[in-house]
Structure 1
Amino acid sequence: MRIWAIANQKGGVGKTTTTVALGGLLAKEGKRVLLMDLDPHGSLTSYFKYDPDTIEHSAFDLFLHQGKVPEDLPATLIVKTSMPGLKLLPASTALATLERRMVGVDGMGLIISRALAILWDEFDYVLIDNTPSLGVLMINSLAASQHLMVPVQTEFLALKGLERMMHTLDMVIKSQKSKLTYTIIPTMFDRRTQASVQSLRAVKQTWGNQVWKYAIPIDTKFRDASRLGVVPSELDASTHGVRAYKKLLENIRESETVNAG
């Protein structure tokens, strides 16, 4: 099982789109893919037409057992999506209450790791969509993951959010003595605007080789796919956006092969 986290401490940068697009491409290859929503806002859950306000069972259930995860629980929380081979472990808005509920409970940073260990033989890939804030949910996600993707919108306000995310990542890696690798992914790129071009240049100058050498362009088909609740590659595999995500998928796999070697 490969576990990838998609996170940034700024909202609206393309985390959910990245999760859905990559998950859809992997499922189309015949991989068994689980998308996990750890954001109380539930954008990923809503994408597939489930309501995070009313859903009966969700990732929240994993945190209700004093730091342990019952063997039979994770599989019961998983629901179908519009695509065969692509499953969802949804979020509920109750996740927003975890910080105060979990005060003083040991082992709360490893709940997702324990849940995925139970599901290890059931999936080839797990992609985790994260809340845009540092807390027990993001700590869980980073602790469970082997690779982190950090989408960053190519506009200057988003660069400040990226600085915060990189600072957080540095703290987590040091505290956990983690070998977590990461890739910064420029998103919503519009080559027609000077602001977008300059922002992309600034990201690459600041973070160098950690930045994917291409960028995910603005693509209206992403919005159409979201409205229909289907992955972008199922709606139209030929768009600029989907082709960019295919390149990104190739890059992540190549970098994992290099790091493994």
Structure 2
Amino acid sequence: MTVWAICNQKGGVAKTTTVISLASLLAQRGESTLILDLDPHGSLTTYLGYDPDVIETSIYTLFQKLDNTPKDAIFQSLKKTRHDNLFLLPASTAMATLDRQLGAQQGKGLIIRKTLSFFKDRFQHVFIDCPPMLGVLMINALAACDKLLIPVQTEFLSLKGLEHMLHTVSMINHSRHTELPYLIVPTMHDNRTKAANDCLQQLYQQYGKHVWDHVVPVDPSFREASKLGMPLPEMNINAEGSQAYQQLLTELIQPQAKFSHG
């Protein structure tokens, strides 16, 4: 089982789109795939047909009892989706209160890692959709994952969010006692604009070895797929955005995938 966290300390950079696209492509191959929605906004949970405002068992349930979460609560939180081979541990909007509730309790950063240990023989791939703020949920994701993807929109405000994210990765490496391999994925790229192309060049200049060699383009098909509640690769595998994520996935699952450490 490989665990991927998709994370950036800036919203609106296509984190959820990246999760649902990559997970859908693997599920369509017949590979059992699990998605965790750690964002209290619950966009991914909504995308997959559940309501984060009223859901009874969710990731929030797992945090309420910390280390004493019973197995049945863990498995009750697991939801089927209408997509074959794709399962969800959903978000609840109550997750927004976790930092205040948990305070300085010990062990709160390893809840997701311990939860995933129950699924290690069931799923081949796990994708974690992270919130855009540093807190207990992001820390859990970074502690649980094997590899990190950082989507970055090719506009200059996103570069500042990337700096914050890489600082967080540096801090997490100290507690993990091993460096977390990560890959920066340029997203929402509009190659018709000089600003986007200049930003992409700056990404390569500053973080070259960490940056994917290609981009996920701006594609209106993503909005249409979202409206229908379908992953774009399932709605239209030939769409430009689908092809970009297919190329990314092909490279990610190669043994020599371009992942770099700090």
CA RMSD of aligned residues (A): 1.3
Name segments (4+ residues, structure 1) moved above 3 Å: 255-259
* Structure 2: runs of 5+ lacking an equivalent: none
Distance 1:257 1:160, change over 3 A: closer
Kept in 2: contact 1:67–1:105 (CA 8 A): no
How far apart are residue 57 of structure 1 and its match? 1.3
Distance 1:258 1:212, change over 3 A: closer
Deviations 1:138-183 (A, max 9, x none): 1100110000000000001111101110111111112321332100
Letter in 2 for 1:236: N
TM-score normalised according to structure 1 size: 0.96
User: Bigger CA drift: 62-71 or 45-54?
Assistant: 62-71
How far apart are residue 71 of structure 1 and its match? 2.1
Kept in 1: contact 2:251–2:258 (CA 8 A): no
Residues 107-146 of structure 1 aligned to structure 2 (within 5 Å)? 107-146=107-146
Secondary structure in structure 1 of the residue aligned to 2:117: helix
How far apart are residue 255 of structure 1 and its match? 5.3
Secondary structure in structure 1 of the residue aligned to 2:26: helix
Match of 1:154 in 2: 154
Query: Counterparts of 1:48 and 1:207 in 2: how far apart (Å)?
Result: 34
Query: Counterparts of 2:108 and 2:67 in 1: how far apart (Å)?
Result: 5
Kept in 2: contact 1:82–1:230 (CA 8 A): no
Match of 1:26 in 2: 26
* Structure 1: runs of 5+ lacking an equivalent: none
Deviations 1:98-157 (A, max 9, x none): 001111322110000000001111111110000001111011001100000000000011
1:101 aligns with 2:101: yes
Between the aligned residues of both structures, percent identity stands at 48
Distance 1:215 1:255, change over 3 A: farther
How far apart are residue 54 of structure 1 and its match? 1.3
TM-score normalised according to structure 2 size: 0.95
Residues 201-212 of structure 1 aligned to structure 2 (within 5 Å)? 201-212=201-212
How far apart are residue 53 of structure 1 and its match? 1.1
What is the number of residues matched between the two proteins? 259
Kept in 2: contact 1:55–1:92 (CA 8 A): yes
Query: Counterparts of 1:102 and 1:143 in 2: how far apart (Å)?
Result: 17
Match of 2:226 in 1: 226
User: Bigger CA drift: 145-154 or 220-229?
Assistant: 220-229
